[in-house]
Amino acid sequence: MGKKRIVIALGGNALGKTLPEQYLAVQETSKAIADLIEDGNEVIISHGNGPQVGMINNAMAAYSKTDPSHPAITPLSVCVAMSQAYIGYDLQNALKEELLNRGIHKNVATVITQVRVDENDPAFLNPTKPIGHFMTKEEADKAVESGIQVMEDAGRGYRRVVASPKPAEIIEIDTVRDLLNAGEIVIASGGGGIPVIRKNNHLKGVGAVIDKDFASCLLAKELNADFLIILTAVEKVALRFGTPDETWLDAISVEEAEQYISEGHFAPGSMLPKVQAGVEFAASAPGRTSLITLLEKARDGVNGKTGTRIMK
Ligand code: ADP
Ligand code: MG
């Protein structure tokens, strides 16, 4: 099959949760990505950052207790930026090594990526995503005083809660495109991107997290990709997931996917954003295919052998 432009969105299991887990996980992840590159495809990689950004957020909070000159809260936008560099560092090195082992001489680079959100996005009125460490009532009150929103999390204590707005614009998209057109492998838009709002020439970080599935969809549309591959912990998407009459989906149309979404087959916060992102990409132009599958099935999925595909 001919050369395709593929945006790969890596899920949590492609990266692991701890430093040593990530170091090992990226080696396996790199093999699956190198397979696609070896087949002649152009590859752009994006990834999630849930555990990593949580770890960084908690680490900065702990540090502030030892150094009173350090603010108690590190902006979430800064934590996302740190997570992009930390994950990109491991991933770009592992992928470069895997490519060299196969005799493929291509550069791999991570682009620290900001993603603009709309400050009037309704998500800001209803923050839903709990992040970071648990706080006592006293700590929570102090956090609220410093302008942080906090909620009680299922009887376990208080946690910071942030909005999850939709991505509106990838700030570094021209840089990503230039690198791609120069034949390089790019890692971009990690953790959904660093959320920013625009104030004239100034980009201001905001305390939100962007869903990596939606950010990857925007990246794929902007780069005019042929494929959006969302790699996760299941080989296919299911109807009636986890029930005795669970049914795994192969190829479905945009209309079928929309029907299944409206019937509530996909869990919010996990499979729903993937199917929604898949629908949005496939519906955006003819010839665009979305694929949801396991990391180790990426090559088979592109070749139509497995995974759930969404096509117009
Ligand atoms: P990632 O880190 O890749 O974003 P998530 O845990 O957010 O992974 O989402 C993938 C998970 O969604 C699967 O492992 C599965 O447990 C769950 N899931 C929910 N609904 C479905 C469904 N209808 N079909 C398949 N998996 C589903
Ligand atoms: Mg997820």
**Beta-carbon neighbour count of residue 54 at 10 Å?**
17
Q: Check residue 27 and give its pLDDT.
A: 98
Position 229 scores a pLDDT of: 98
pLDDT over threshold 80, residue 88 = yes
State the sign of the Cα–Cα–Cα–Cα dihedral 157, 242, 305, 215.
negative
Query: Tens digit of pLDDT for each residue in 42-61?
Result: 999 999 999 999 899 989 98
- Tell me the CA–centroid distance for residue 232 and ligand 1, in Å: 7
Give tens-digit pLDDT for 219-256. 999 999 999 999 999 999 999 999 999 999 999 999 99
Sole residue written with tokens 């102090």 = 142
Probe target for ligand 1 pocket from 15, 129, 232, with the most ligand atoms within 8 Å of CB: 232
- Is the pLDDT at 154 greater than 80, yes or no? no
Please state, as a whole number, how many other Cβ atoms lie within 10 Å of the Cβ of residue 146.
9
Look at residues 178, 225, 189 and name the one whose alpha carbon lies nearest to residue 116.
Answer: 189
Active-site residues, by number, are: 12-13, 129, 212, 274
Res 128: pLDDT: 82
Return the pLDDT at 130. Answer: 80
Q: What is the mean pLDDT of the chain?
A: 95
Instruction: Give the position, in ligand 1's atom list, of the atom nearest the Cα of 10.
Output: 3
Instruction: Work out the percent of the chain whose per-residue pLDDT is above 70.
Output: 100
pLDDT above 90 covers a percentage of the chain that reads: 83
CA distance linking residue 81 with residue 51, whole number of Å? 14
Question: Is the model's pLDDT at 126 over the cut of 60?
Answer: yes
User: What whole-number distance in Å separates Cα of residue 173 and Cα of residue 267?
Assistant: 30
Residue 37 CA to ligand 2 centre (angstroms): 25
Q: Which atom of ligand 1 is nearest to the CA of 240?
A: 23
The pLDDT value given to residue 1: 54
Between 2 and 291, the more confident residue is: 291
Which ligand 1 atom lies nearest to the CA of residue 230?
Answer: 3
pTM: 0.94
pLDDT of residue 200: 95
Does position 2 have pLDDT exceeding 90, yes or no? Answer: no
